[in-house]
C-alpha cells in the first residue's frame, strides 16, 4: 500500500502552500519576522536627504530661551514675518490652531503673517462622532489664509512602529489629503473608492505610501526655532526651501518609532513628515506586492523546492538550505535595487516545513521498500539457500 506516500505528496503540493499563505495573512510569527527583516532591509533603500527641505526645530534650546510650550501665537507670527523675505516655496506649521487665544489680537496677527507665505496647516484628528467628521480644522481666519489643509496621521503597525501613511484618510465622503502631499507639490491622488464600497460613517484609508527613510534622527538639515526667529539664519539657506516647523525636543509633540530610529529611540513627527515629503517628491517609496503576486512568490518557491527534492532526493538538506538562501537573496536584491518588498518569512518557513515533510515522506518510502523486501524474503521456502 502506498497510501501514506500519496498523502505526503498531496500535503506538500497543495496543503502546505495553502497553510503558509493562510498563516501569512494573520497576526503572528510570519508577520513579526517579516517586520523585523523589513526594518533591517530598509537601510538598503536609504537615500540622500533632499537639500530643499529644512526643519525649523522647536528644540530644547528654543524652549529654554522662549519659555514653556505652548508659546503665544505672536511668537509664531514673528517667525513667519522673519521668514517671509526669504521667499520659501512652502511652510508647514505643524501646530494645531483649533482653539482661539485668550487675546484675539494674537490670532489676527498670526493670520496676517500667514498671508505673506504659502503656509500649510495640519488637521487635528478627533474620534468621529455626530458633531465631528473625524478631523477638526483650524480657526476660520487661519483656514482663510492657509495655502492648504490636510491630515498628518501616521500609521502604526501592530508592533507600534510607523512604516507608512495614507495619502487620503477620513470618514466616507469626507476624505482628507495628506498635508505632506500638498507640500510636495504633486497633491494627493484623486481616485476614490466607488460609492457602493463606502459604508456610511466608515473610516477609510486610501492610497498607502510605504516610506523609505534618509537615515536616523537628524538626517535632514535643521536650524533652531529661536535662531530663525532672531534672524540668525542666512536668507540663502531659506530661499526656495520647504520649511517644516515642528517639535523635536524630547517629550514634546509626536515622537514616533520608525525603522530608521531602531537603536536610537524615536523619530520626531516633523522628521517623519520630512521623509514622507522627500519620498513623494523623488519617488523613493517602497513598492509592496499585490496579494496575487505574493501568493505566486510563496507557492512557486515551494513548488520549485519540491521539484528539486524529487530530482535530488538524497540532497534534501542542501536543496533546502540553498532555496532558503536564494529566497533571502532575491528579497535583498529587490529592496536594494528596486525598492520592492518581497516578504521572505513565508517562503523560508514554508521551505523548512517542506523539508520536514519530505524527510518524513522519504523515510516512509524507505520503510515501505524494506517491508516489501522483508515480505519477499519471508515467502521464500525454507532451505532454498
CB contact set of 261 (below 8 Å; sequence gap of 6+)? 216, 217, 267
Pull the grid cell for residue 19.
497553510
Instruction: Kindly report each contact of residues 352-356 with a partner whose C-beta sits within 8 Å and lies 24 or more positions away, as own/partner.
Output: 352/320, 352/324, 353/16, 353/20, 354/12, 354/16, 354/302, 354/305, 354/306, 354/309, 354/320, 355/316, 355/317, 355/320
Beta strand ranges found along the chain (DSSP E): 53-58, 90-93, 119-122, 124-125, 135-136, 148-150, 155-156, 162-171, 176-177, 203-210, 222-224, 242-247, 255-256, 267-268, 287-288, 340-341
Amino acid 155: pLDDT? 86
Looking at the predicted structure, is the pLDDT value of residue 263 above 50? yes
Residue 201, Cα to own-chain centre: how many angstroms? 26
DSSP secondary structure letter of residue 15? I
Report the side by side order of strands in the sheet with 242-247.
Answer: 148-150, 119-122, 90-93, 242-247, 53-58, 222-224
What's the pLDDT band for 357 if we cut at 50, 70, 90?
confident
Give dist(CA 363, CA 357) in Å, integer.
Answer: 10
- Percent over 90 (pLDDT), the chain: 54
Q: How many CB atoms lie within 10 A of CB 240?
A: 11
Looking at the predicted structure, is the pLDDT value of residue 193 above 50? no
Q: How many CB atoms lie within 10 A of CB 329?
A: 11
DSSP secondary structure letter of residue 251? T
Amino acid 116: pLDDT? 93
Amino acid 16: pLDDT? 83
Amino acid 194: pLDDT? 44
Amino acid 192: pLDDT? 42
Q: What is the pLDDT of residues 367-381, one digit of tens each?
A: 555 666 666 666 556
Amino acid 189: pLDDT? 46
Pull the grid cell for residue 302.
515551494
Residue 166, Cα to own-chain centre: how many angstroms? 10
Amino acid 381: pLDDT? 61
Looking at the predicted structure, is the pLDDT value of residue 277 above 50? yes
pTM, to two decimals: 0.83
What's the pLDDT band for 21 if we cut at 50, 70, 90?
confident
Give dist(CA 52, CA 29) in Å, integer.
Answer: 41
Which residue shows C-alpha cell 508647514?
92
Amino acid at each position: 500500500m502506498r497510501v501514506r506516500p500519496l498523502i505526503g505528496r498531496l500535503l506538500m503540493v497543495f496543503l502546505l502552500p495553502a497553510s503558509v499563505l493562510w498563516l501569512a495573512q494573520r497576526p503572528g510569527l510570519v508577520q513579526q519576522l517579516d517586520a523585523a527583516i523589513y526594518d533591517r532591509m530598509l537601510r538598503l533603500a536609504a537615500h540622500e536627504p533632499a537639500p530643499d527641505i529644512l526643519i525649523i526645530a522647536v528644540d530644547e534650546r528654543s524652549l529654554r530661551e522662549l519659555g514653556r510650550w505652548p508659546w503665544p501665537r505672536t511668537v509664531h507670527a514673528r517667525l513667519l514675518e522673519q521668514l517671509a523675505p526669504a521667499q520659501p516655496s512652502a511652510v508647514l506649521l505643524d501646530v494645531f490652531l483649533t482653539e482661539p487665544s485668550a487675546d484675539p489680537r494674537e490670532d489676527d496677527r498670526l493670520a496676517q503673517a500667514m498671508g505673506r507665505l504659502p503656509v500649510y496647516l495640519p488637521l487635528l484628528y478627533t474620534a468621529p462622532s455626530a458633531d465631528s467628521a473625524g478631523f477638526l480644522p483650524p480657526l476660520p481666519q487661519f483656514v482663510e489664509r492657509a495655502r492648504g489643509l490636510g491630515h498628518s496621521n501616521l500609521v502604526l503597525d501592530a508592533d507600534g512602529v510607523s512604516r507608512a501613511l495614507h495619502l487620503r484618510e477620513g470618514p466616507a465622503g469626507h476624505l482628507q489629503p495628506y498635508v505632506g502631499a500638498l507640500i510636495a507639490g504633486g497633491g494627493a491622488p484623486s481616485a476614490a473608492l466607488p460609492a457602493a464600497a463606502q459604508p456610511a460613517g466608515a473610516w477609510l484609508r486610501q492610497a498607502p505610501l510605504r516610506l523609505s527613510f534618509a537615515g536616523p534622527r537628524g538626517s535632514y538639515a535643521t536650524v533652531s526655532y529661536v535662531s530663525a526667529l532672531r534672524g540668525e539664519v542666512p536668507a540663502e539657506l531659506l530661499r526656495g526651501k520647504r520649511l517644516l516647523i515642528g517639535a523635536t525636543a524630547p517629550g514634546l509633540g509626536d515622537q514616533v518609532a520608525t525603522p530608521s530610529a531602531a537603536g536610537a529611540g524615536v523619530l520626531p513627527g516633523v522628521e517623519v513628515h520630512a521623509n514622507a515629503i522627500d519620498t513623494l517628491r523623488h519617488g523613493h517609496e517602497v513598492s509592496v506586492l499585490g496579494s496575487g503576486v505574493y501568493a505566486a512568490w510563496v507557492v512557486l518557491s515551494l513548488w520549485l523546492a519540491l521539484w528539486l527534492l524529487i530530482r535530488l532526493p538524497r540532497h534534501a538538506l542542501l536543496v533546502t538550505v540553498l532555496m532558503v538562501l536564494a529566497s533571502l537573496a532575491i528579497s535583498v536584491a529587490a529592496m536594494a535595487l528596486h525598492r520592492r518588498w518581497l516578504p521572505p518569512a513565508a517562503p523560508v518557513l514554508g521551505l523548512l516545513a517542506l523539508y520536514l515533510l519530505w524527510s518524513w515522506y522519504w523515510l516512509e518510502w524507505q520503510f515501505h521498500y524494506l517491508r516489501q523486501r522483508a515480505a519477499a524474503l519471508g515467502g521464500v521456502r525454507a532451505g532454498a539457500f
